[in-house]
Amino acid sequence: MKANYYMTDFAGLKLVQPLLRALSDEGYATPTPIQGKAIPVLIEGRDLIGIAQTGTGKTAAFALPMLQRLSASAYRPQPKSTRALILAPTRELAAQIAESFKVYGKHLNLRCEVVFGGVPIHRQIKALTPGVDILVATPGRLVDLWRQKCVRLDNVEIFVLDEADRMLDMGFIPDVKRIAAMLPKQRQTMLFSATMPQTIQQLSGFLLVNPASVEVTPAATTAEKVEQRVLFVQKANKRAALAGLLRDDAIDKVLVFTRTKHGANKVVKQLEDDGIRANAIHGNKSQSAREKALQEFRSGRTPVLVATDIASRGIDVDGVTHVINFELPNEPESYVHRIGRTARAGATGIAISLVDAEERSFLRDIEKTIRQPLVVQNHNYGSAPGAAVRQPANEDRPHRNGGGNHRGGNNGGRNGGQNGNRNGVQDYGQGKIRDAQPANQDRNQGGAQTDGEKLPARLMNGAARTDEAQRPRRRRRRNRSGGANHAAV
Ligand code: AMP
């Protein structure tokens, strides 16, 4: 059976209050298509095949009904056993799923543990000894634990196989079959996969009984969802370029990346001098200062957060509209990680990199890794030498999203084409959940360097607010020299 309709609000999904509260704490207003389709079927107790990728909200689609069912019975887990088992192909995914269970189940009294390879097994053995309600595991480590008689799987009531096609690619299917053979016949089973190769179809025939099937069209990958641009700019002009970029109204929350902790502090100081409220987050800050900076960023009180790569690993904030690389990282993977801080939760996002002459080789490595050239944006901040080697994109350049709205392109305006429709596009893999605001074609025509242009009020620091009357003149003076009178950053 295929579920063709879906609920469009959480209240209609018959979820219990503690779950609805957790969803509201997270700010989730609307179920994603896979959630709207899968949750009612799973609450009925049916087996399910979900054809969906990460990024569609599939974790909550299986976690919410599972938490509901487990919390409804007074049954406690037996020692060394688990009531629900989720198999995931990688430790990153396993950890992420366990984290989601903690978030969605925070008002319930259920125990969740995660086990994966590559770390000592002893702590995991200890955690499993009293028994758990939910166990998230990678197949290899789970088989190891079972061989050592540290876990029993004969009490599993609910079994989830996540990213089944990746399990196949990674050679885990024999382990999966071994594990499935240890499970009780009487159980609820769900299988999620982005694609359905024949082996997975056969596997689902063997694992599932009369399953419902839900499918969402594939969501774009991070690199596709993020509109990426580069400004070739002299090192000494990066400060003016950053302040100019931050004048874009479309910026709601922006993460600015530097390579060093010292660099992050310096950028914050300069932004504050320029009237822009910002915090820094890096390894030299105390835990409480980091938490405060994150909290202020999350709440929107300080919408500019300047971070180093290491500190950014802990930043999981929805609604980051922009990432600005004040300096490029020397490792391409860090670039991918940085831009992934935007375009979370199905949204799209913009990543802008300020690249000086010394960073050209970093840029080449990044473009090789992401297998696409970055769109060059025109600007008036003083180009880096050699920038002419790379032409800015023009209107005729085919856009990778196939759209005619030329999101990343350069429209010849001084702010270089930031007038695409960015606000609040939620793409969870099946059309737009929330429609974007109509693009304001004129919004950025004046661009970052318009003399005397006002900062968006939410970015202003206290000094800037009281001092606003004087600001236009100060900025006019600065802009006439193209920002060159700023100290080098
Ligand atoms: P997943 O596909 O489960 O990895 O989820 C992708 C992202 O979507 C995660 O960051 C979730 O926190 C977020 N998310 C899941 N469901 C919703 C929802 N209904 N509304 C907003 N964000 C959601």
In three-state form (DSSP H/G/I as H, E/B as E, the rest C), the secondary structure along the chain is CECCCCCCCHHHHCCCHHHHHHHHHHCCCCCCHHHHHHHHHHHCCCCEEEECCCCCCHHHHHHHHHHHHHHHCCCCCCCCEEEEEEECCCHHHHHHHHHHHHHHCCCCCCCEEEECCCCCCHHHHHHHCCCEEEEEECHHHHHHHHHCCCCECCCCCEEEECCHHHHHHCCCHHHHHHHHHHCCCCCEEEEEECCCCHHHHHHHHHHCCCCEEEECCCCCCHHHHEEEEEEECCHHHHHHHHHHHCCCCCCCCEEEECCCHHHHHHHHHHHHHCCECCEEECCCCCHHHHHHHHHHHHHCCCCEEEECHHHHCCCCCCCCCEEEECCCCCCHHHHHHHHCCCCCCCECEEEEEEECHHHHHHHHHHHHHHCCCCEECCCCCCCCCCHHHCCCCCCCCCCCCCCCCCCCCCCCCCCCCCCCCCCCCEECCCCECCCCCCCCCCCCCCCCCCCCCCCCHHHECHHHHHCHHHHHHHHHHHHHCCCCCCCCC
User: Does residue 116 share a domain with residue 20?
Assistant: yes
Residue nearest to atom 1 of ligand 1 (CA): 57
Of 215, 244, 263, which closes a domain?
A: 215
Under the banding of pLDDT at 50, 70 and 90, the label for residue 224 is: low
> Token pair of 273, please?
């001098």
What CA–CA distance (Å, rounded) separates 437 from 427?
A: 14
Q: In the chain, pLDDT over 90 holds for what percent of residues?
A: 48
User: Does residue 254 share a domain with residue 129?
Assistant: no
Does ligand 1 lie within 6 Å of residue 257's CB atom?
A: no
Does a structural domain hold residue 261?
Answer: yes
User: Does residue 232 share a domain with residue 202?
Assistant: no
Ligand 1 centroid distance, CA of 55 (Å): 6
**For residue 343, how far is the Cα from the chain centroid?**
6
75, 259, 264 from 279: Cα distances, Å: 48, 16, 9
What CA–CA distance (Å, rounded) separates 447 from 438?
A: 19
User: Does residue 210 share a domain with residue 84?
Assistant: yes
User: Does residue 230 share a domain with residue 199?
Assistant: no
Does a structural domain hold residue 4?
Answer: no
Which of 263-267, 331-335, 373-377, 456-460 is the most confident on average? 263-267
Ligand 1 centroid distance, CA of 57 (Å): 4
Does ligand 1 lie within 6 Å of residue 58's CB atom?
A: yes
Does ligand 1 lie within 6 Å of residue 270's CB atom?
A: no
> Crossing angle, helix 91-104 and helix 58-72, to 10 degrees?
50
Of 185, 215, 245, which closes a domain?
A: 215
Does a structural domain hold residue 411?
Answer: no
Q: In the chain, pLDDT over 70 holds for what percent of residues?
A: 72
User: Does residue 144 share a domain with residue 108?
Assistant: yes
For the stretch 262-292, pLDDT in tens is 999 999 999 999 889 999 988 787 767 887 8
Which CATH number does the domain housing residue 174 bear?
A: 3.40.50.300
Does a structural domain hold residue 419?
Answer: no
User: Does residue 235 share a domain with residue 201?
Assistant: no
What CA–CA distance (Å, rounded) separates 276 from 324?
A: 15
Does a structural domain hold residue 73?
Answer: yes
For the stretch 34-58, pLDDT in tens is 999 999 999 999 999 999 877 788 9
Does ligand 1 lie within 6 Å of residue 54's CB atom?
A: yes
**For residue 227, how far is the Cα from the chain centroid?**
14
Under the banding of pLDDT at 50, 70 and 90, the label for residue 388 is: very low
User: Does residue 283 share a domain with residue 135?
Assistant: no
Does a structural domain hold residue 446?
Answer: yes
For the stretch 463-489, pLDDT in tens is 444 333 333 333 333 333 333 222 222
Under the banding of pLDDT at 50, 70 and 90, the label for residue 442 is: very low
Which of 141-145, 273-277, 329-333 is the most confident on average? 141-145
Determine the average pLDDT of the residues in 145-170. Answer: 94
Total domains in the chain come to 2
Residue nearest to atom 10 of ligand 1 (CA): 345
Task: Give the number of the atom of ligand 1 that is nearest the alpha carbon of residue 219.
Answer: 2
User: Does residue 323 share a domain with residue 194?
Assistant: no
- Check residue 123 and give its pLDDT: 95
What CA–CA distance (Å, rounded) separates 471 from 4?
A: 56
User: Does residue 235 share a domain with residue 209?
Assistant: no
Under the banding of pLDDT at 50, 70 and 90, the label for residue 306 is: very high
User: Does residue 116 share a domain with residue 14?
Assistant: yes
pTM of structure: 0.53
Does a structural domain hold residue 489?
Answer: no
Does a structural domain hold residue 424?
Answer: no
Tell me the residue range of the domain where 332 lies.
226-382+437-482
- Check residue 194 and give its pLDDT: 80
Does ligand 1 lie within 6 Å of residue 60's CB atom?
A: yes
Residue nearest to atom 13 of ligand 1 (CA): 345
User: Does residue 157 share a domain with residue 234?
Assistant: no
Residue nearest to atom 19 of ligand 1 (CA): 31
Of 153, 180, 215, which closes a domain?
A: 215
